[in-house]
Amino acid sequence: MRGIKVLVISPWYFSETQSTFIHKQLLELRNQGCEIKVITPIPWTPFPLNVISKKWKGYHDVSDRIVRDGIEAYFPRYLAFPKGLFLASSGKRMYAGIRKLVQDLNQDFKFNIIHAHVALPNGFASMLVNKEYNKPLLVTIHGQDLQITVYKNEACREALAKVFHEADKVVTVSTKLKKIAEANFGVSEKIISICDGINPADVARRNIDLVSKYAGNKIMLSVSNLISSKGLDLNIRAISLLAGKYSNLKYLVIGRGPADAFLMKLSRDLNLENQIVFLGELPHDKVMQYMAIADIFSLPSWQEGFGVVYLEAMSNGKPVIACHGEGITDIIEDGTTGLLVKPKDVKSLAQAMDILLGNPDKAHEIGDRARKLVLENYTWENNARKYIEIYRESIASHV
């Protein structure tokens, strides 16, 4: 079946930085014959919401429609509340915000399937709007639904349960999430685990300016939103334990978030200002240039649904440090394609850093195996092929 028309309802597409992985997946789906349109509902931002924070001002400034690399995306508004208030009913409000747009798009774009990313609110809204069209509904779960939302309150749990039972297929990006979903909602027969991927063309050459800038240093890198669950404070504390042994270690941190000030203060309190560099948010191509010069990638996140950034580091041949029990353990075999540490354990983390910094040959061997594994198995091309197979099966079996 060629020419599958997919209506994608995703929460991230308005921001190029946040939507990189979704966009790359969509480009590959299109390359393999799908036709795609994207709806990304944006919170309505009347005064004073449009001035209370940078985040909400950003919502206010989003245009109604863009075309990114030939993929058309729309940004209808819906009533949302700051800090996730009334989250359980957010899908109903999102439905009200997108219903008319879906009707208009369907005039010329007779979609065969709806693919929602995130169960609440996007999957719930998609479920409601689909009652008019009776098309297959596929929902991809990336982490928050099953790591945070399901525990928020009983109303949120009930809303999630409805999506899991009404969707034709649910894809989790790791077996960790699949197990959580099955434990909470059953429906194991419709849950499939498909890991995210990378684009081999994004693997960067070493930037000569960056190589020169950090000559003589061992480089450890983290790329993430700066929030507590990413464990960047643990990295900083582990570095303080190794500072005397590896005085040439530079820790580069890419990203922004609510933990910015705390992490910078922690670095100062531990007298590590000269070893830790906060680079802020960078475009994806620049991030990959930093990946290319790094010696180690460490992200001891203790609440990670999967983590494409690990794959990106591995595709650059870097030994990565991650936590036992998280989504990326689908990919990392401890000691072979990366190192796994105990969650929230500074001592375990420092030991892993010491192994990689003190044994460069071992670090290179781990990185080389990781690169081979990722480039052969975990690309967006392979990911899209698996999704298209699900699309076809869902369309063929949907009644």
Superfamily in which the 5-197+379-397 domain is placed by CATH: Glycogen Phosphorylase B; (3.40.50.2000)
Q: Alpha-carbon Rg of the chain, whole angstroms?
A: 22
Fold classified for 200-377: Rossmann fold (3.40.50)
Q: Where are the alpha helices (DSSP H) in the chain?
A: 20-31, 49-52, 54-61, 90-108, 124-129, 144-147, 154-166, 175-185, 208-213, 232-242, 260-269, 284-293, 308-315, 346-358, 360-377, 380-397
- What is the rounded distance in angstroms from the CA atom of residue 167 to the CA atom of residue 120? 13
DSSP codes joined into one string, 111-159: -SEEEEESIIIIIHHHHHHGGGT---EEEEE-SHHHHTGGGT-HHHHHH
What pLDDT shows up at residue 18?
Answer: 61
Residue 234 exposure: Cα atoms within 13 Å on the Cβ side:
26
pTM of the model: 0.93
Residues with Cβ within 8 Å of 283's Cβ and at least 6 positions away in sequence, in order, are 16, 17
Half-sphere exposure in the Cβ direction for 154 (13 Å, CA): 0
Dihedral angle at the C-alpha atoms of 181, 184, 188, 193, nearest 10 degrees?
Answer: 10
Query: Tokens 């003589």 sit at which residue?
Result: 216
Per-residue pLDDT in tens (0 to 9) along the chain, 399 residues: 458 999 999 998 866 666 688 999 999 999 999 999 999 999 998 777 777 777 778 888 888 999 999 999 999 999 998 888 999 999 999 999 999 999 999 999 999 999 999 999 999 999 999 999 999 999 999 999 999 999 999 999 999 999 999 999 999 999 999 999 999 999 999 999 999 999 999 998 899 999 999 999 999 999 999 999 999 999 999 999 998 899 999 999 999 999 999 999 999 999 999 999 999 999 999 999 999 999 999 999 999 999 999 999 999 999 999 999 999 999 999 999 999 999 999 999 999 999 999 999 999 999 999 999 999 999 999 999 999 999 999 999 986
Look at the block and give the residue holding tokens 């434990």. 183
Return d(Cα 252, Cα 286) in angstroms, integer: 13
- pLDDT value of position 172: 98
**183 burial type by CB count under 10 A (0-12 exposed, 13-18 middle, 19+ buried):** exposed
- Quick check: 67 and 97 in contact, CB under 8 A? no
Helix-helix angle 308-315:360-377, to 10 degrees: 110
Whole-angstrom distance, CA of residue 267 vs CA of residue 240: 9
Token representation of residue 136: 């297959």
Question: How high is the pLDDT of residue 19?
Answer: 64
Residues of the chain within CATH 3.40.50.2000 domain(s) are 5-197+379-397, 200-377
List the beta strands (DSSP E) in 178-294: 191-193, 218-223, 249-254, 276-280
Separation between Cα atoms, residue 304 and residue 328, nearest integer Å: 8
Number of helical (H) and strand (E) elements in the chain, helices listed first? 16, 16
* Cβ–Cβ < 8 Å for 267, 238: no
